[in-house]
Amino acid sequence: MANVSPSTKNPMGKPISSGQRIMIVNSYKMELKKNPNLTVREARIYISKQLGIGQRTVSNVISEYNSNKTVTSPCKTRIRTSFKDKFDDLQMNTVRFHVHSFWFNKTIPTLDKILQVIKDDDTLPDISRMNLHRLLKSMDFVYTKRNRNSALIEKDEIVLWRRRYLQNIRKYREEGRHLYYLDETWVNAGDCTSKTWVDKTIKSPHDAFLQGLTTGSQNPSGKGKRLIVLHIGSEDGFVPGGLLCFESKKTTDYHEEMNDDTFYDWMKNIIPRLKENCVIIMDNAPYHSVKKEKIPNTTTKKADIIKWLQEKGEVIDRPMVIPELLDIVKTLRPQYDKYLIDDLAETHNRTILRLPPYHCELNPIELAWANVKDHVKKNNTSYKLSDVKRLLLEGIERVDENMWKNFIRHTMTEEEKFYKIDFIVDDLLSAETESLTMMVGDTSSESEFSSDDE
């Protein structure tokens, strides 16, 4: 009989590999099959001797497997996520709403006040004060010193864009034009509800086996594969034949999967399905906003600026410096600064209206997507992409025209809030400025002894 080599002991402190973890789980399952009454303590002693791995490590792997039905790989490179990755578009808009709620209540928002509100909101992820500051800056908020109480307000460009959008959409509604809303989203194979009912009397798979029960819902091993989805809808519901759905090849931001060629081809197909003289509302994603041609700017070479101007019929009959050339470009810009998609829509008697940045709450299709995703999460049990796609189609079918009308009605309420908020901000900041002016200008003895309430 041949001598059996003793198992090599894993060096203390050295992480075990994925293969070793799988060997522990397989050994545990085999021993449990032989002896259903086997305890974890007995299993860890036996497996530790067999595989030369410490009992504590064996016990930890078995516990992880019993809890999650899977084991993690310590050798896998972990991708550090940014604070921005924790907040999706809807959550960022919730943050924006919290900031504006201060203005509605006629108080000036500060970083500490906003942080406290976010901490109190269970729907938002945790965030540090420093990262909140960075998040607000990325959302185009600025900290201004227009008065004695430094205040967090939006950049003027965002306010102007929103004002123009609200005025235009009001005008289109008064003209009786049909409004369509489009947007992209994603669905992961591992999407499921964050909470579920759990039988706390079941302590382990062994207990479940003895009682003829289960260990409850199976958890997904991760987010899994991803579907990228694009659709368009109106008060009549989702447009028939308007769905674009394909499997993602990356795990990063879904916006990287959609490019201008894909979107342009989809628009060529969808425009004939829309009503005449309608308005198509979309956000300002890069693939929605590809220019027909590149217009010279300060980074353009001088020879290229001259060439562009001559192509437009301008005569350069004397030596000019770059600022002079760009000044001529500025006068011509309105004629040529156009988007490919806008040009495509105009040729079919349709109009494109772009949402202001970071205002997805003004797009009712976001509410439709939330409803569809909720259906997927509540019914996803296999975590297979094919089943998730089936649930996605079911969810889209469930969102009928009555739901769309409710979503649009809710969005119109949000539009009205935004229309009023800009005036509230102006009035409040003006009042603060007037208060400061009066305090500075008052030289009476009473003012010298007045206290500062800041």
For residues 69-98, average pLDDT: 72
Return the CATH class of domain 83-154: mainly alpha
Nearest to 399 by CA among 422, 366, 423, 377: 366
How far is 370 from 360, CA to CA, in rounded Å? Answer: 12
Determine the pLDDT at residue 443: 39
Position 76 pLDDT exceeds 60: no
List the Cα angle 4/7/10 in 5-degree steps: 170
Determine the pLDDT at residue 253: 57
Encoding tokens for residue 125? 């992820």
How far is 184 from 232, CA to CA, in rounded Å? Answer: 9
Position 311 pLDDT exceeds 60: yes
Encoding tokens for residue 207? 């207990």
Name the range with the highest mean pLDDT among 53-57, 146-150, 371-375. 371-375
Report the predicted TM-score, pTM, of the whole model to 2 decimal places: 0.65
pLDDT 10s digits, 235-269: 999 999 999 999 988 655 555 668 888 999 999 99
How far is 371 from 112, CA to CA, in rounded Å? Answer: 33
Task: Report domain extents, the chain.
Answer: 18-68, 83-154, 169-194+225-292+338-414
Pick the range with the lowest mean pLDDT from 119-128, 253-262, 303-312: 253-262
**Alpha-carbon distances of 195 from 119, 124, 202, 395, 446, rounded to whole Å:** 20, 16, 17, 20, 61
For residues 11-33, average pLDDT: 78
How far is 450 from 80, CA to CA, in rounded Å? Answer: 52
How far is 312 from 301, CA to CA, in rounded Å? Answer: 17
**Alpha-carbon distances of 252 from 9, 79, 139, 290, 344, rounded to whole Å:** 40, 11, 20, 22, 30
CATH of domain 169-194+225-292+338-414: 3.30.420.10
The burial class, CB within 10 Å (0-12 / 13-18 / 19+), for 15 is: exposed
Determine the pLDDT at residue 432: 55
